[in-house]
Chains A and B, each alone.
Chain A
Amino acid sequence: MNNKVRDVAIVGAGMTPCRSRWVEKTFWELAQMAVSEAVHDTGIHIQEVEAGVAGIYNDIFEFQAIPESGFQGIVGLQNKPLMRVSNGGATGAYAMLAAYNMVASGQYDLMLVLGVEKALDCYDFEAESNTPAVVQTIGYSWDPWFERPLGAHASESYAEVIQAYMDEYPGDLAPMARAKIVELLCEQAQNNPYAQRLGEKVTAEQVLHSRYVVYPVRSLETCVYTEGACALIFASAEMARKIKERNGREPIWLTGVGAANEPYFVGNDITRYKVLHRIYSDHVATKKALSMAGITINDVQVIELHDAFIPQLMITLAEMGVVPLGKANDLVEEGIIMSGGKLLVNPSGGLVFGGHFVGGSNMMSTWSAMREMRARNLEHGLIHGTGASLSMYGVVIVLERRA
């Protein structure tokens, strides 16, 4: 049932720079930085905010259980409700979904939606490197009885789905198409002042020669590990009108939301199990969100999607209906998402070049989509989050800019 109760708008946003490691800041400070930016961007005092939702993916990354408890007062929400959401890679989008529902239901008129994450304090003292410890931490997402004991880990999750898709659609997700997308995202990231990989230049040729992370995915096709924070301010229509009188800016409206989680275990029946060559949750979530917004995928002009791996970005766009399944190469070969094409994808540089602070990556995507919609006079945008061990979680939110 998609009964929209009240309109919900995003009236402000604040970001921290995305860095691989912020030795200079704890996650408390990153959270406060982002919230401070957001309330000043909106033109409000934090005391006006009635409740909050915090997206934080992993207690181990923060090195604290119930990590949000520490910054409750620091972000100015003392004695107010603050719900913490954790849904794997889709944490940010699910946090936004929760906040949307809290405003749409009529319970609150003004809410803080915050995403924050550390990651690179994890350290493998034997390997003398952060990466194995980060990969192992994410590996705890697998169940402890049947799959984790086999050595399941972060990179494997999307690789299983990618391999299964390539079995189903031989020739699709071609290496050169993937490499061209990486090149595109790198160029686009240079316009994102908060991007983790500002100043980099990566060519398709470099991608094709980069090391394998897990076959067939190469290192330059994968998202980075990031520390950072992003805060958004959600408002009811009435509150958005009042805030517009203060800051003179039209809000961006959330007109469609959709979410779906596929089951954990793999099988052939898509109604009961995870079908390995699909990211069906992306398909279902997109369908629900577009239906609620009353538009089709062809009406969407900018998509900021969760690109953990470039082959997965291509599958997700196919699941969304931008191209048919099995024809993801057309995204590049037909120029659909290339410079000058009909669809702008990940102008922030995505999670590969912009950054992936897990709890808030999808909020960064939202900040970027809103920015592009205003700058380019676009009416419809879409943001997406995916996550969990076999990319089973999918959340899609449709954004609308009303002239």
Chain B
Amino acid sequence: MAKTGKQAAAAAKSKQQPVISTAMLPMAAITEVKGRDGTYLQRNDVMFTAMKHAQGEFSEFFFALRDEAKVFGHRCPQCRHLIIPPFMKRCPACNFVEMKKEYVKDVGVMVATPVITVFAPSRFKGQEPFGTGRVFLQTEDGKLSDTAMLVRVRTTRGTIRPGIYKKGTPVKIAFADAREGQMLDLFAVPQEELTAKQLAKSPLLESEIEWGLLADIEFGRPTPQLQKILKQVKFHLQKLAAMIPRSPRATANLANWQRTVNVRTGGGTFSFVVHEGKLRVRDEVAKDPDLIVGVKDPSVLLAWLQDSTEALGGGFQSPALTDLVIEGTLVLNKPELETITRLDRVPRSLRRDQVVMRP
């Protein structure tokens, strides 16, 4: 049963984390650094002020997110503009007439194709890839708000990628079950991904939506050609796996990371395991994988693997796995990019450790 805002906040408090990771705090040290014309010193330091940051007049808006799972804006009684979020109390266009609180509906449209972040600031590490976009929300009189609000945009069909949203995409605003009174309490989902029942529910909670569906990728029946390519993919992945222990850097790329990954392609399925700095390939898929990767055409994986394991004259030609995720060629069932970014580092490590020799 979904918790109310206050109950959920209490539960969330028990899982408190520091605002910044302690790994970001440097040890006190003065070290040498090479300049172009000699050696210089640099000092580890921080510009650091902790805050109890007052939310001021915006507290009412954030209380509404936390306790009511609702969004309100401010409407000018004179020009009738309705702004979301309610970033000001008076309307400058009408010479600072006082605006009035007005709730908006939890449906609206995207302003434009949202931005997908892959290389996030440290505080948002582990959430990539994530999307942020702006939405106009419907007002009670059936029109749209006059300003748009920035929200996280999500999809039920794996990770966010181009093509899921564009300008004008109808959206439903859903809410986190555990809310704290901040902008991550809500997010948008494309209306077309929801059932009529979900669309009608207000508020719709995160737990009431099914996530990680890769069903919309039409893998089709595996053709002999694609099955052949998949066989080569597994062969080259095993080749890569055999190279990793010979490369201290590649081993470090996979260190302290454990994942079981199922791979679904147009040529069939397989899985691999990352564990203790090693990689193991399996023909069968895992029952309960940590991650599922979907790709229609396995030849993109083959190109990456061939570039990774063979001496190249002209440099790495195939796109990085991360780029394939960004483009939507590789689809993950959930936003967890670290397995992909760790694998992306392996080819360069193999070259630097001369396990794969330059021609």
Partners in one complex: yes
Contacts of A211 in B (CB 8 A): 320, 322-323
Q: Is the CB of A266 within 8 A of B319?
A: no
B residues engaging A (CB < 8 A)?
21, 23-26, 33-38, 40, 42, 44-45, 47, 53, 55, 58, 81, 83, 85, 87, 93, 111-125, 127, 130, 132, 134, 136, 146-152, 162, 166-167, 182-184, 317, 319-320, 322-323, 326-327
Q: Is the CB of A23 within 8 A of B83?
A: no
9 A-B pairs with CB atoms under 8 Å apart are A63-B45, A125-B25, A131-B119, A145-B58, A152-B132, A167-B167, A215-B162, A264-B87, A269-B81
Binds B, one of A3-11, A107-115, A132-140: A132-140
Q: Do A276 and B323 contact each other (CB < 8 Å), given the known contacts A126-B21, A126-B122?
A: no
- Contacts A63-B45, A150-B184, A164-B113 known; list 13 others, CB within 8 Å: A63-B47, A126-B122, A126-B125, A131-B119, A135-B119, A136-B121, A136-B122, A145-B183, A151-B127, A164-B111, A168-B167, A214-B117, A276-B111
- The closest CB in chain B to the CB of A153 belongs to B121
A198 interfacial by beta-carbon distance below 8 Å: no
Q: Do A273 and B118 contact each other (CB < 8 Å), given the known contacts A211-B322, A212-B326, A266-B111?
A: no
A residues engaging B (CB < 8 A)?
23-24, 60, 63, 121, 123-127, 131-133, 135-136, 139, 144-147, 149-153, 155-156, 159-160, 163-164, 166-168, 209, 211-216, 264-269, 272-273, 276-277
Complexed CA–CA distance, A268 and B317 (Å): 42
Q: Is the CB of A209 within 8 A of B149?
A: no
Selected from B53, B116, B123, B147, the residue in CB contact (under 8 A) with A136 is B123
Selected from A136, A145, A159, the residue in CB contact (under 8 A) with B115 is A159
Q: Is the CB of A145 within 8 A of B55?
A: yes
Q: Is the CB of A267 within 8 A of B87?
A: no
- The closest CB in chain A to the CB of B129 belongs to A215
Of B21, B40, B112, B322, most buried by chain A (CB within 10 Å of CB) is B112
Complexed CA–CA distance, A112 and B111 (Å): 44
Q: Is the CB of A265 within 8 A of B323?
A: no
Q: Is the CB of A150 within 8 A of B151?
A: yes
Q: Is the CB of B118 within 8 A of A214?
A: yes
Selected from A132, A147, A153, A276, the residue in CB contact (under 8 A) with B117 is A153
Selected from B35, B55, B151, the residue in CB contact (under 8 A) with A24 is B35
- The closest CB in chain B to the CB of A147 belongs to B150
Q: Is the CB of A150 within 8 A of B122?
A: no
Complexed CA–CA distance, A168 and B111 (Å): 11
Complexed CA–CA distance, A152 and B151 (Å): 10
- The closest CB in chain B to the CB of A124 belongs to B122
Selected from A167, A209, A273, the residue in CB contact (under 8 A) with B147 is A273
- The closest CB in chain B to the CB of A142 belongs to B150
Q: Is the CB of B146 within 8 A of A268?
A: yes
A254, chain B: closest CB distance, angstroms: 32
A220, chain B: closest CB distance, angstroms: 13
Complexed CA–CA distance, A264 and B119 (Å): 24
B43, chain A: closest CB distance, angstroms: 10
